[in-house]
């Protein structure tokens, strides 16, 4: 009897342990045939398991197109299972918008399919994937179990193609990273921007070039989209998120340049107060600290003059 009870307890505990690593995936229908799994606007944590990113999918007549595979193997597997169960269709291909770890570490669950990305994104995954992986294990712990780096296996063909009744356009930009893919569905008017656009969340800059990024945002504004899916934050029907991302980046660039011109040290710049316009953005102060680490060294070096060396 006692043994039976122990067995029951053990079974319950393993079930609970497994349930502890279920991502709360809730598909939102944002347009006909088009769904988004919306992550929290938080930083990586052991609580959120890295579900801090938006992953999308389009249900075409030929099968399903997935855009970004999330932060871990568990995420990719749960994402694929959910999509295939709820639609009764198979995933046929995957697009990865850029090489940051919250966007591609679910690739393992799709490794039997073509996984498309821009060439520089594929190289970025190959170059930095292991470093990202180590850091992700540190940040989200057991959520990463059995996750390994699977680089995208196909270079994306730019331009338009008709896929199962959806006219998809693949567009190459840069600025958030060296290669940022946007996917525009002309049939539904849905634009997947990847991390070129953040909504109510401060932009991240580990591989950013702000000048290129601002130029890319100008191009995005010209597209006749009806629905915009940002990399992080809520899906929108207007261009407010683009305007907000642009305003934040302009502010960031300005304060960093001014600080460098005034001879400030990094910790002093990191303490810059966040103006009222951006107070509402999730993670504004911590992203500012990170951005100083990424972008300030080049700007401060411009302010130094070669000293006269003694021979």
Partner 1 sequence: MRPLFALLLITLLSPWGWAAEPDALKSPQWEFVHKRFLNGEPYQFDGKVKVEAPADAEDSLNVPISFQVEDLESIQEIVVVADLNPIPQVLRFRPKEMRPHLGFRMKLQQGSPIHVAAKTADGLWHVGGVWVNAAGGGCTLPSVGTASGDWTKTLGKVSANVWQRPDGSNRLRVRVMHPMDTGLASGIPTFHIENLNVLAEDNKVLAELDLFEPISENPMLSFDVNRQTQFRLEGRDNNGNRIQAEVAQ
Using CB under 8 A, pick the residue from 265, 275, 277, 280 that binds partner 1.
265
Task: Supply the minimum distance, in Å, between the C-beta of residue 225 and partner 1.
Answer: 33
Using CB under 8 A, pick the residue from 2, 3, 222, 308 that binds partner 1.
308
Task: Supply the minimum distance, in Å, between the C-beta of residue 223 and partner 1.
Answer: 33
Using CB under 8 A, pick the residue from 61, 126, 135, 240 that binds partner 1.
135
Distance between the two ends of the chain, CA-based, in angstroms? Answer: 89
Q: Is 270 in the site for partner 1 (CB under 8 A)?
A: yes
Q: Is 52 in the site for partner 1 (CB under 8 A)?
A: no
Residue numbers 143-202 binding partner 1 by CB under 8 A: none
Structure tokens at 278: 């951006």
Q: Is 234 in the site for partner 1 (CB under 8 A)?
A: no
Q: In the chain, what's the furthest Cα-to-Cα distance?
A: 89
**DSSP state string for 157-201:** PPEEEEETTEEEEEEEE-SSSS-EEEEEETTTTEEEEEEEEESSB
Q: Is 300 in the site for partner 1 (CB under 8 A)?
A: yes
Task: Supply the minimum distance, in Å, between the C-beta of residue 202 and partner 1.
Answer: 14
Which residues have a Cβ under 8 Å from the Cβ of 30 and sit 6 or more positions away? 36, 190, 227, 229, 235
Report whether 121 contacts 152 (CB < 8 A): yes
CA 217, distance to chain mean position in Å, is 16
Q: Which residues bind partner 1 (CB under 8 A)?
A: 134-135, 138, 206, 262-263, 265-268, 270-271, 286, 289-290, 293-294, 297, 300-301, 303-310
């Amino acid at each position: 009897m006692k043994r039976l009870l122990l067995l029951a307890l053990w079974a319950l505990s393993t079930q609970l342990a497994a349930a502890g690593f279920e991502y709360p995936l809730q598909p939102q229908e944002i347009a006909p045939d088009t769904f988004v799994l919306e992550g929290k606007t938080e930083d990586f944590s052991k609580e959120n398991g890295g579900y801090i990113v938006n992953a999308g999918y389009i249900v075409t007549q030929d099968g399903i197109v997935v855009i970004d595979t999330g932060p871990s193997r568990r995420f990719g597997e749960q994402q694929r299972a959910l999509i295939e169960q709820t639609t009764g269709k198979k995933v046929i291909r995957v697009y990865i918008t850029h090489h940051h770890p919250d966007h591609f570490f679910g690739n393992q669950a799709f490794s039997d399919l073509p996984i498309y990305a821009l060439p520089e994104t594929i190289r970025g995954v190959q170059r930095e994937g292991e470093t990202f992986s180590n850091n992700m294990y540190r940040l989200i712990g057991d959520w990463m179990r059995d996750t390994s780096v699977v680089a995208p296996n196909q270079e994306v063909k730019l331009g338009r193609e008709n896929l199962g009744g959806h006219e998809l356009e693949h567009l190459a930009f840069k600025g958030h990273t060296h290669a940022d893919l946007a996917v525009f569905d002309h049939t539904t008017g849905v634009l997947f921007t990847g991390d070129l656009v953040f909504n109510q969340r401060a932009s991240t800059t580990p591989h950013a070039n702000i000048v290129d990024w601002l130029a890319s945002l100008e191009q995005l504004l010209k597209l006749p989209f009806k629905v915009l899916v940002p990399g992080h934050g809520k899906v929108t029907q207007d261009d407010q998120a683009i305007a907000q991302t642009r305003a934040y980046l302009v502010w960031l660039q300005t304060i960093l340049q001014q600080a460098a011109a005034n001879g400030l040290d990094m910790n002093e710049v990191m303490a810059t107060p966040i103006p009222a316009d951006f107070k509402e953005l999730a993670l504004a102060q911590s992203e500012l600290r990170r951005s100083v680490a990424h972008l300030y060294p080049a700007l401060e070096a411009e302010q130094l003059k070669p000293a006269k060396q003694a021979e």
